[in-house]
A and B are shown apart, each in its own frame.
Chain A
Amino acid sequence: MNIEMKGINKSFGSNQVLKDAGFLLKDGEVHALMGENGAGKSTLMKILTGVYTKDSGTVIVDGEEVSYKTPQEAEKAGIVFIYQELNVLFDLTVVENLFMGKEITKSFGVCDMKAMKAKAKEVMDKVGVNIPVDAVMSDLSVGQQQMVEICKALMVDAKVIIMDEPTAALTESETEGLFKVINSLREKGVSIVYISHRMEEIFALCDRITILRDGQYIDTKEIKDLTMDDVVQMMIGREIGERFPTRDVEIGDEVLRVEGLTSGKLFHDVSFSVKAGEVLGVAGLMGAGRTEIMQAIFGNLKKDSGKIFIQGEEVTIKNPRQAIAAGIGFITEDRKTEGLLLEKSIAENMEIANLNKVSNHNVLNKAKQQELVKKGIEDFRVKCFGPWHECNNLSGGNQQKVVLAKWVATEPKILILDEPTRGVDIGAKKEIYNVINDLAAQGVAVIMVSSELPEVLGMSDRIMVVREGEVRGILDGKEADQAKIMTLATGGTL
């Protein structure tokens, strides 16, 4: 299917999100759509699929001008959007999800389960997916759920599938599986629009790339003619210099030491230490237990045994309150469900983590509140209309800055960051790296869990590799490379 979008304009209230945006899609290609958060990628695709209506501009599909009014209309035409937040019914089975609203029925509307299961298997075989059709969705991994979404698209004979950040929650092997499916779809002539912030994936997978900036069409190019730096420059419209800023910090005394930390089947006998001013990267495959280890250190997950020492003294941490009192800050991997009070303002989010700093005898103090919040917004350059700005309406990068600001305000000795740059655009990523460096320079011991190897390699003094709940090795940052980390992460030895 060939799609041409030209001169698309779209405003929400006074805010013009798309200005003369465009997009060209060919038959059977994997086309990356890139841009910073708020560049208008999702909006453009939502206009194509009838979620939003455009203010002006034309959309031509296979030579005919179209304007879908609902996602159902677009689906009928063969264009399906798979959202980042998957649109599945978790309590139902795979088959029920696949045929929701288009069940195959016998007489009197009785579902023909046999026929549906057969059809489901047929579609799954076509793309080489193997998921039990009777499984309940909530029992499947996120990767499998995503596959079901893709199969759902194929049920309606989709010719164009739009995927928004499809790998954000996938494990390494699930990502590989997804790529295989995408490649087999491409061979069958299905076009894929691939929205992602992960540069490595774009270069490994896509044929062409279209870049949007501030709602405007910038360019469409063949991937093979570009380097990552070219893409970054087109996205932000300026040089950002080094992708990972350098840091020149004197590493001090040991701040945190963990000995023999064990929790059931999640992880066992985890020991490591972090020094003041040091950044310890934590690498490993998704599901290796990295997050669980950090949650246990922070007291949010029960540990069976093991000791935690802070500045040489053993501490008892049974809940996050004790962890915070001991000087630990924890930026969780999921800022939407754990990191922020989304429906609350920036001010309330910053204050809730620092109630003792903004109150006298438990009564809030306006001057102290304003000082704390103002400093946070300024130091972290949070783009907002003011302290009362609701976090829901901030971009991913700015949300993450609010989370950082609130924890930095607690003046932690140890800051744990779990996937700090997930879903954050390149510009904001760099700002987050700068914050990490500043904190290290102030003598904070930083632990950074990340699934993006270039980030781990670029930012860490030492790198701890975790596999199946065990520490497989701790590498020196200068000597480490992707191959070494992956060897350890997948069970090999150096």
Chain B
Amino acid sequence: MEKNKKSIGTLIGENGAYIALVLLVIVISIISPEFRTGDNFLNLLRQASFNGLIAFGMTCVILSDGIDLSVGSTYALSAIICAEMLVNGVNPVFAVIVSLILGVALGVVSGVLVTVGRLQPFIATLITMTAYRGLAKIITNAMPISRLADSCESESGAFFFKTLGKGNLEFGPAENPWFAIPIPVIIFVLALVIFYFVLTKTTFGRRIYATGSNAKCAKLVGVNVTKTKISVYAISGFMSALAGIMMISRLDSAQPTMGSGFELDAIAAVALGGTSMSGGRGRIMGTFAGVLIIAVLNNGLNILGISSYYQEVIKAIVILVAVLSDRKR
């Protein structure tokens, strides 16, 4: 009896966000013919992938009983550094790798503030968020950097850089492909698989959950809580940097103000996915659904021509309903 109840509970728990997602897609599809095209769905997935990558990193941080407000600033600062390197003639592959490492380092700073500095995650990442944003503005003098691909010296370097955000994986004959999947979507799905594996199948994943569930207990059974916490912020930094680099590739320009407010979309996606804000409970598949819900809302409401002011209120209501229905279980 108890067992039945539990399995039904987990079933709904796992699928609650998906039910909401399917409902939204059906409703908007009925209203709008433009929404329900294959091209638009691919477009929607591409839009989702940037927030998605950040939200995956955020999921790890929140599971460990932390929060990372600095994702938007890390996204911008890494992208700015990458853009600076490109316009100064640095090899694009090298520039991307250095920017990704920088993202990790920026995350580590937050992690060290949380663990060694014993700051509350909210405050620690509020500090890094402010500092990184400021640095991005200092470096660029608050000006955008553009024509990035053209700055690449080699043809192949420019191709590599452009592919990250703009490229497509095409299926069918080369001159007239059946369909093309955007590279960001492929990276997004790949990241989903990797995060799913790490969180559910590895000892590191277990340590993240244990740390978020009860850090005292985790420490006493030999989990290196400090290392685990620093690692999740490093992961979050890496994912933010990756999303940032993909975005400047797509836009062919970098702005110091890019990504402001991204932390809120990422946190909303994690919350929609049913992850506990106090850590220890949650699933990456939930976050995936949360990311898609937000993307469907953004895309669908735009297509429906709803003013952006109303969009925000509608988004807020959807999140509220989803989180409330989550709590009732």
Binding site for B on A (CB under 8 A): 13-15, 298, 300, 319-321, 324-325, 330, 332, 337-344, 348, 351-353, 355-356, 359, 362-364, 385-386, 388, 406
Contacts and interface: CB of A to CB of B under 8 A. Distances in A.
Given A337-B214, A341-B210, A388-B6, A363 B201 contact: yes
A355 B281 contact: no
Contacts of A341: 209-210, 213-214, 217-218, 280
B40 interface: no
Interface residues of B, number: 26
A332 B207 CA distance: 20
Contacts of A388: 6
Contacts of B218: 341, 352
Contacts of A340: 214, 217
A363 B194 CA distance: 13
B220 A348 contact: no
Contacts of A324: 221-222
Nearest to A386: B3
Contacts of A298: 220
Contacts of B94: none
A364 B220 contact: no
Nearest to A355: B203
B5 interface: yes
Nearest to A329: B221
A343 B202 contact: no
Contacts, number: 82
Nearest to B218: A352
Most B-side CB within 10 Å, residue of A298, A330, A344: A344
Contacts of A325: 222
A391 to B, nearest CB: 10
A337 B216 contact: yes
A302 to B, nearest CB: 14
B147 interface: no
Interface in B209-244: 209-210, 213-214, 216-224
B217 A330 contact: no
A344 B223 CA distance: 16
A454 B219 CA distance: 32
A343 B220 contact: no
B204 interface: yes
Contacts of A362: 202-204
A68 B321 CA distance: 34
Interface in B1-52: 1-3, 5-6
Contacts of B281: 343
B206 interface: yes
Contact of A364 (B203, B213, B217, B223): B203
A363 B202 contact: yes
Contact of B221 (A13, A343, A353, A363): A353
A344 B5 CA distance: 17
A340 B210 CA distance: 10
Given A355-B207, A363-B203, A385-B2, 20 more contacts: A13-B1, A319-B219, A320-B221, A324-B221, A324-B222, A332-B220, A338-B220, A340-B214, A342-B214, A343-B213, A343-B281, A344-B209, A344-B210, A348-B206, A355-B203, A355-B206, A356-B203, A364-B206, A385-B3, A406-B221
B2 A351 contact: no
B279 to A, nearest CB: 10
The 10 closest A-B pairs by CB, nearest first: A353-B221, A341-B213, A355-B203, A324-B222, A321-B222, A14-B1, A362-B203, A352-B210, A341-B214, A359-B203
Contacts of B1: 13-14
Contacts of B206: 348, 351-352, 355, 364
A150 to B, nearest CB: 30
Nearest to A350: B221
B259 to A, nearest CB: 33
A482 to B, nearest CB: 32
Nearest to A321: B222
Most A-side CB within 10 Å, residue of B202, B207, B224, B281: B202
A356 B209 CA distance: 17
Nearest to A295: B220
A343 B224 CA distance: 20
A388 B202 CA distance: 18
A399 to B, nearest CB: 12
B202 A364 contact: yes
B5 to A, nearest CB: 7
A87 B15 CA distance: 37
A348 B206 CA distance: 8
A341 B201 CA distance: 19
Nearest to B210: A352
B209 A320 contact: no
Given A13-B5, A337-B216, A339-B217, A353 B209 contact: no
Interface in B229-268: none
